[in-house]
Chains A and B, each alone.
Chain A
Amino acid sequence: MRAIAVAVLAPAAATVVALTLPHAGAPTAESCYFLAVVVAAAIGGLWGGLGAAVLSFLGLNFFFVPPKHTFEVRGVEGVVALAVFLAAALLVGGLLARAIRERARAEEREHQARTLNQISTLLGSPGTLERTLEQVAALLVRLLGLSSCRIATADVDVGVRSDAGDPRGGGPVASFELSPADTNVGRLTVERPRDEPGFGAGERTLLHAVAAQLALVFEAERLDRTVKQARLEAEANRLRAALFSSVTHDLRTPLASIKAAVTGLQDAGAVFEPEQRSELLQTILEETDRLNRMVGNLLDLARLRASALEPQLQLTDVDEVLGQVLHRLAGLLAPFQVVVKVREDLPPVTADPLQMDQVLTNVLENAARFSPPGTEIVVSARRSQSRVRVSVADHGPGIPTEERERVFEEFYRRDAGSGRGGTGLGLAISRAVITAHGGRIWAEGVPGGGTAIVFELPVAPDVPVGPAPGAVDGGNGNGRGNGRREGSVDGPGGLGGSEG
């Protein structure tokens, strides 16, 4: 339509211009017609250009080449001139139209490539699948001027609507299957606003490519899930087996001692010396504590498995946690000489204090388990560059170098069957906790024999001390300012005042 209009109008305009120009001869008219052909080719494409070339040829012949107002041509010169004009006009019109078309195509190809590139960047970016799909749909809506775009599979259904589109829909729709490996997993559906043209071949190609990319993403996601599932199942099976043997053996052993001691005490016929009696009661106490620790460890393991061990981070002083742990384990540690070496200026760490408590408890229990009574257990904490290093060293039998990593494995026990083993979980849990805090934990030898379990945590960044309290006490009046500038609490006469 446009091609025909421009093919007619451009030569007509050239005719009018050439006729109105004073003294315009055939050469001037020729230039005008040439311009008309170029314009027609630019606007109307190949057919517009060719049509304009033919009509310009006829116009030139009729109006400007003598004898005027006829299509007759006189003389060889006139024929040649007209023939050259026609050939040149056809050639220029055709070439120009083709060049313009090529450029348009190149632009569209570039646009498609850019879109696809943007989409694959989106698909490769981290984040949930749903969020990514939403971004892809939003991008398509924006780039292609859609009224809506929907990506749906059995698991996800993401739809994005543009504000501009008619909410009732009814515009042109295109739909593409998402089918990796020849199985249809979902559908990409796009819609234009009601009054706009449908989807061209270029756009369809682009959407096909997008659909193929989406299909690959879904396939990768599915494979990933399958692999993870399989790995989890294998791990769960291994743990179940280990747990089963641990529960049957380790949990029943203390229960057996408790039951034996209690039934012994209950036996009406038995006569106990006070010493024997207290020994039996001591057994019950120790074994219940042991059971409690094991249950605690098993619970921690379960939490670890469920990834519920998220640390509640706060400024934590290792020495304060240590104080609490040593107090709680006083009974367990009584047979040993516990030496604490902590520098007063030890910087705090950013950690979950309860989890730090757990780590120190596990490590100290471990030391107590393997140390001969009467030996030293040395607990030290010091700064080591940008880390706080805590070490618990015992004088037990030590661990061979090649075994030192294995003690951190779940259910690994150095002394299976000796009766003093725990669940084999304490150090594994400690490692999980320390790793989650961005630190590391390892075992090393101690000069003179024995084992040190050492862990390091990053020093907490500096925290402002904050203001002094505003309401210290009526008697002290101004309590504002920072801690260092506060005056002594002793008022005049308060110091050294004696009743004598």
Chain B
Amino acid sequence: MTTVLVVDDEPQIVRALGASLRAQGYRVVSAATGEEGIAAAAAAPPDLVVLDLGLPDLDGVDVLKRLRAWSSVPVVVLSVREAQADKVAALDAGADDYLSKPFGIEELLARMRAALRRAPSSGGGQPVQRFGDLEIDRERRTVALSGRALHLTPTEYALLEAMTGQPGKLLTHVWLLRTVWGPAYGDESHYLRVYVRQLRRKLGDSAAAPRFIATEPGIGYRWLAEPEPVAAQERPERGEGA
């Protein structure tokens, strides 16, 4: 059974989350302070942590940093704060995702599922990833949409690879810039803007009604499409028209 550690000092939230998550088949452990949460995570490592940023004793970002010192457990951050700087700080400190309070439980479940899916060293499996009619062959570094090969520049391809490596996860500007452009980058979110637009155009995606790449304004991007499992032997015939 999947164990979820909920760290929040509001008993009502803990109660509501506990009931809803248990009903979904999760085992729920709760902690009311940051110290308690860290201790609980150390005593019996959970499969996922739901962490409130506004704790009475420690700042949630500090809890996250201490947790990340020894654990790579997926963490979904909850916060009533609206400032994007806080969200970015939490994500950069190692949070997998965030939700602003109040939120719907189905939203939380979706984020939790995405975070859990990534947890066991994903990406190392199949060389071919398929998202509906989009297919990425990481071995050959080719991309095809509806069977037609797409011509991507190296930057566009690297960006696509970085995003599809963690479907559903909110990827911050800084993370994407460092991953795609290199460790010296981080402030150049306008580069990202340009390349994401190019990529969207080639993928036939629309910013106003995205199918693949969603923008979290001021924070980052999220790869929306769910990956489909591709069996190794049924490697499809592609690019007939190309």
Chain A 342-366: CB-based contact to B (< 8 A → 1; otherwise 0): 1010001000111011000000000
Interface locus among B2-10, B34-42, B68-76, B154-162: B154-162
CA distance A16 to B178 in the complex (A): 95
Chain A positions within 8 Å of B235 at CB level: 499
Whether A323 touches B191, Cβ cut-off 8 Å, given contacts A471-B181, A472-B180, A487-B153, is no
**A41 CB to nearest B CB, Å:** 75
**B94 CB to nearest A CB, Å:** 22
**Is A154's beta carbon under 8 Å from chain B?**
no
**Is B152's beta carbon under 8 Å from chain A?**
yes
Whether A317 touches B195, Cβ cut-off 8 Å, given contacts A354-B217, A469-B181, is no
Which 10 A/B pairs are nearest by Cβ-Cβ distance? Answer: A353-B217, A496-B239, A486-B153, A320-B215, A469-B181, A319-B207, A353-B218, A472-B154, A476-B154, A489-B157
Contact: A470 with B206, CB < 8 Å? Answer: no
Closest B residue to A285 using CB positions: B104
Interface size class of A (residues with CB under 8 A): 35 or more
Chain A 279-305: CB-based contact to B (< 8 A → 1; otherwise 0): 000000100100010000001000000
Chain B positions within 8 Å of A487 at CB level: 153-154
Whether A324 touches B143, Cβ cut-off 8 Å, given contacts A466-B188, A469-B158, is no
Closest B residue to A463 using CB positions: B190
Q: Which of B30-58 contact A (CB under 8 A)?
A: none
Chain A positions within 8 Å of B142 at CB level: 489-490, 494-495, 497
Contact: A498 with B218, CB < 8 Å? Answer: no
**Is A434's beta carbon under 8 Å from chain B?**
no
Contact: A357 with B217, CB < 8 Å? Answer: yes
Q: Which of A320, A379, A498 interacts with B238 by CB under 8 Å?
A: A498
Closest B residue to A356 using CB positions: B217
**B126 CB to nearest A CB, Å:** 15
Contact: A326 with B208, CB < 8 Å? Answer: yes
**Is A212's beta carbon under 8 Å from chain B?**
no
Q: Which of B84, B161, B238 interacts with A496 by CB under 8 Å?
A: B238
**What's the A-B contact tally at a CB cutoff of 8 Å?**
148
Report which B residues bind A (CB closer than 8 A).
82, 84, 102, 104, 140-143, 149, 151-158, 161, 180-182, 185, 188-191, 193-195, 197-198, 201, 206-210, 214-218, 235, 237-240, 242
Contact sample, A vs B, 11 pairs, CB 8 Å cutoff:
A319-B207, A323-B207, A323-B215, A354-B82, A465-B191, A468-B153, A469-B182, A472-B155, A490-B149, A495-B242, A498-B239
**B202 CB to nearest A CB, Å:** 11
Q: Which of B104, B185, B237 interacts with A500 by CB under 8 Å?
A: B237
Contact: A321 with B180, CB < 8 Å? Answer: no
Chain A positions within 8 Å of B155 at CB level: 468-469, 472, 479, 483, 486
**Is A269's beta carbon under 8 Å from chain B?**
no
Contact: A489 with B209, CB < 8 Å? Answer: no
Q: Which of B82, B180, B190 interacts with A466 by CB under 8 Å?
A: B190
Chain A positions within 8 Å of B206 at CB level: 319, 323, 342
Contact: B214 with A489, CB < 8 Å? Answer: no
Chain B positions within 8 Å of A323 at CB level: 206-210, 214-215
Contact: A489 with B237, CB < 8 Å? Answer: no
Closest A residue to B221 using CB positions: A320
**A255 CB to nearest B CB, Å:** 14
**Is A491's beta carbon under 8 Å from chain B?**
yes
Whether A468 touches B154, Cβ cut-off 8 Å, given contacts A323-B215, A357-B217, A495-B142, is yes
CA distance A11 to B215 in the complex (A): 98
CA distance A495 to B217 in the complex (A): 35
Closest A residue to B180 using CB positions: A469
Interface locus among A30-38, A308-316, A411-419: A308-316
CA distance A495 to B153 in the complex (A): 14
